[in-house]
Amino acid sequence: MSLARSRGRRYPEPPHPYRNDYQRDRDRIIHARAFRRLEAKTQVFTTRYSDHFRNRLTHTLEVAQISRTVAGALGLNADLVEALALVHDIGHPPFGHAGEQRLDEIMRKFNDRFDHNLHALRIVENFEQRYPDFPGLNLTFEVREGIIKHSRDYDAEEFAELAEYSLDERPPLEAQLIDLCDEIAYNTADLDDGFEAKLLTLESVLSGCSLFCRFYEQAVRQYARAPAKLRFNEGLRQTINALVTDLLENTGRRIAEAGVETVEDVRRAARRLAGLSPAMAEQNAELKKFLYSNLYLHEQLVGERARAADALEQLFDHYVAHPDDLPRTHFEKTRQEPLHRVVCDYLAGMTDHYLLRQQRQSAAKARTSN
């Protein structure tokens, strides 16, 4: 089928002599301040456990690697896929999903919301100021569309402000792949990091994850004298390979069965075409269920997430009560936007460590003033 081609940028630019549009998008994303900050944002484990575990940035790089592999095998536009993978988490606030959930709960009190996809769009369109000719990064339509549509379908009536992205149409296959590659990356990585952190035992993993168990038992037979951790690594490597292979093979079958030949055919398709086979989807769901029950809801992680989210809410409340403590550029934004939205955007851009530091300083200031 024909590859996705750029519909252009919001602000027209002349072509680059040796980089295509999506390569330029990739480079702009990598050089963005918001991208660099992902290094200090929690994926699942904070650095209290180990600095070897994934953070939001290393996770993003793993998603990009898997995505390019799948796109290349399917003959899709690997440059577009890479740009989408690199930008897909750029809107996440500090402290992972706990931070996002708490920010959304706070914003609901103001009849507003926080959504990391929508926030990512605001970042690339407005917050990143690097060029004198236009606001934001001036990314191509397809990358901006993919930010919005890669992981969910937004209702066109509820999100009228997103009308230019044709919410009633499917996104290109390159965008559809990102959510699935993201899931493969974080499921297997969280299994790895959870085992390394000793929050998951080998026995529990083998009893709760049939896909991994099959490959681990093969590794034990094949590498009987290898250290236990290397056998675990081999089982994990084969698990990733099985998921990725199934994804590209099943997606290829769906494309053929649907008879799509162009990007326009993909957009008009009755359903998303990228996906795991039913059998592999069932095994992947088992893995996700295991991780939720045994890792994400582990008492050590639950308590740490709650404390971090409380710090976020305390700092939010402080800035709403004392907007003059905001940086000058953010304080000036309150003349055009509601205070709660400005505070939300400011906190969402923070790294974990910076937010905790600001929260301690604000708490100390409050004690002194009292």
C-alpha angle 210-215-217 in degrees, rounded to nearest 5: 90
Residues pairing with 140 in the sheet: 9
Q: Which two tokens stand for residue 251?
A: 């997606």
Q: What residue spans define the domains of the chain?
A: 21-300, 304-369
Q: Which residues of 229-251 are buried (b: 16+ CB within 10 A; e: fewer)?
A: eebbbbbbebbbebbbebbbebb
Cβ contacts of 253 within 8 Å, gap of 6 or more: none
**pLDDT, tens only, 223-244:** 999 999 999 999 999 999 999 9
pLDDT in single tens digits along all 370 residues of the chain: 555 667 899 999 999 999 999 999 999 999 999 999 999 998 888 766 767 789 999 999 999 999 999 999 999 999 999 999 999 999 999 999 999 999 999 999 999 999 999 999 999 999 999 999 999 999 999 999 999 999 999 999 999 999 999 999 999 999 999 999 999 999 999 999 999 999 999 999 999 999 999 999 999 999 999 999 999 999 999 999 999 999 999 999 999 999 999 999 999 999 999 999 999 999 999 999 999 999 999 999 999 999 999 999 999 999 999 999 999 999 999 999 999 999 999 999 999 999 999 999 998 887 787 6
Distance CA 270, CA 17 (A): 39
Q: What is the predicted pLDDT for the residue at 231?
A: 97
Q: What is the predicted pLDDT for the residue at 73?
A: 96
- If one counts every other C-beta atom within 10 angstroms of the C-beta of residue 338, the result is 12
Residues pairing with 55 in the sheet: 42
Q: What is the predicted pLDDT for the residue at 1?
A: 56
Q: What is the predicted pLDDT for the residue at 228?
A: 92
Distance CA 132, CA 153 (A): 34
CATH number of 21-300: 1.10.3210.10
**pLDDT, tens only, 262-280:** 999 999 999 999 999 999 9
Q: What is the predicted pLDDT for the residue at 370?
A: 65
Q: What 3-state class would DSSP assign to 140?
A: strand
